[in-house]
Amino acid sequence: MRKLLLGLFLFASFNLQAAYDEYANNVVISTATLGFSSAQLKKGVEEAFSTYGWSIVGQSETTMKGDLKGGGSSVVEVNFSNPAAIKIQYLTEHDSENYKFYKRLLNIRARMMVYLTDCTNKDMQQTNTTVKSDVALRRNLMYAFYKYNWIIKSISETEITAALAARGRLEAKINESGKVSIRRWDEVEEAWTDPDRDNYVRRVSNVLNQQQMRCSK
């Protein structure tokens, strides 16, 4: 009962806050240690823009601009001058209290990262011939996180953390032999769950294992 009441309270609080908060005009993608080239990042942006109806209206070596449905009323820019922290932001004014505008940024981020980290993606395979096994593992792990919409909070060579509202925090640690251990912090219980019985951990782990088997060298 306590868990149910706390869950309902958090859910209500989240919705109440969302109703009055202003959403940011940008999102940042953590890509440190993943080794993507500018050419690959561009392909990822192109894929995301194409998927959600954005037309490319300008680009440079480190940026790409997209216009949704033409007319210039909704324009975004993806800036990857810092490949460890890619920024997607609006260049036009929009209703910051309307979630649909923020959702557009989230959609671009998710599609871009799923495309870039999917080791079965033939477009990426052509440019991934020299990717080291540890980098490939981190990409597969990122793919598993993004498949279930977890937002990456930090990434290093040995640890990746991700969070999601009402679901808590996932922490993936990679040991020297390449073994990955994943656990979840439950915000309601304020404790780490049992990884063997946690559905969120199991789903991410299953996708990671599938990708590791499909793309093993």
**pLDDT tens digits for 20-49?**
468 999 999 989 999 998 889 999 999 999
What is residue 124's predicted lDDT score, i.e. its pLDDT? 78
Q: How far apart are CA 42 and CA 30, in angstroms?
A: 16
Q: Which residues contact 183 (CB under 8 A, 6 or more apart)?
A: 170, 171, 192, 193, 195, 198, 201
Q: Which residues contact 44 (CB under 8 A, 6 or more apart)?
A: 36, 112, 113, 115, 116
Cβ atoms of residues 203 and 186 within 8 Å: no
158 pLDDT above the threshold of 80? yes
Over residues 144-167, mean pLDDT:
92
Terminal CA-CA length for the chain: 49
Q: How far apart are CA 170 and CA 184, in angstroms?
A: 4
Can you give the residue ranges of every domain in the chain? 22-117, 124-214
Q: How is residue 61 written in tokens? A: 């070596």
In CATH, 124-214 is 3.30.499: no
Nearest to 55 by CA among 25, 80, 100, 46: 46
pTM of the predicted structure, to 2 decimals:
0.84
3-class SS of residue 197: helix
In three-state form (DSSP H/G/I as H, E/B as E, the rest C), the secondary structure along 77-131 is EEECCCCCEEEEEECCCCCCCCHHHHHHHHHHHHHHHHHHHCCCCHHHHCCCCCC
Q: How far apart are CA 119 and CA 216, in angstroms?
A: 9
Local confidence band at 217 (pLDDT 50, 70, 90 cut-offs) = low
State phi, psi for 66 to the nearest 5 degrees.
-130, 140
The two domains 22-117 and 124-214 share their CATH topology (first three levels equal): yes
Alpha helices, H only, the chain: 2-20, 38-51, 99-117, 122-125, 133-147, 199-214
CATH number assigned to the domain covering 22-117: 3.30.310.80
Average pLDDT, the chain: 88
Local confidence band at 14 (pLDDT 50, 70, 90 cut-offs) = very low
6 pLDDT above the threshold of 50? no
Local confidence band at 91 (pLDDT 50, 70, 90 cut-offs) = very high
Cβ atoms of residues 136 and 12 within 8 Å: no
